[in-house]
Amino acid sequence: MPDGSLSLPARLCLLVWDPAGSTATDTARVQHLVRAGALTELAQRGLLTDDEGIATPADLDSSTGDAVLDGLLELVRESLPHRWRTWVRLHARVTFDAVREQLVAEGHLRAEKRRVLGVFPSVEYVLAREAAARALREEARRVLEGPQPAGEVSERDAALAVLAAAAGLGVPADPVSGVRGRERITELTRRCVSAAPGMRKIVGEVWDAVSDEGARAPASARG
């Protein structure tokens, strides 16, 4: 998938930006989607494990080298134990803001200063690489719709497609409707849970948290 060097939460964050409009809305639903991506990547790397439904650090020393992922890992280590669904929402804005700044630093987004009503200072984040964002969205759509067998999709790409579908945003169409769409999501889910022990429960918990948020959002607000 394009921009494969980016982390899963960073790619999910980019999916929120519609290349046609070049901007995205900073909402709780988007923040939860990005946090879900970070949790999933840490689990796929084996750094977060499942202990009877609790998100549990595998050890106290490991790191990824990615500031956003390591920041979340440290937060989980220093906090009281919580279930996966709770971590999708708890302090999710911290992860979203860190990912967004990371994307600005790497040239994917551009921060533009504005004044609301000509008085109040504000910052608007716009796409700096519209072609790359468009390619990412199109590839996510292709993964969701096929025809590539789910077994040939990488675990990270499968996770991105599954989470984007759960949130109801980030792709140009709605590929999860109908029996075939649901079957495809099931196939991709099986693919992304093959990365580490306990991933089935983890992805199920994270999916439910994100899809619940997506279901509450008005259809007009979906990407």
3 state SS of 214: helix
3 state SS of 157: helix
Answer whether 177's CB lies under 8 Å from 139's CB: no
3 state SS of 193: coil
Residue 120: pLDDT over 90:
no
pTM for the structure as a whole: 0.86
What is the pLDDT at residue 223? Answer: 37
Lowest mean pLDDT among 103-117, 163-177, 190-204: 163-177
Residue from 149, 194, 143 nearest 165 by CA: 143
Tell me the pLDDT tens digit for each residue of 11-50: 999 988 877 765 666 688 899 999 999 999 999 999 999 9
CA 27 to chain centre: 13
The span from the CA of 1 to the CA of 155, in Å, is: 11
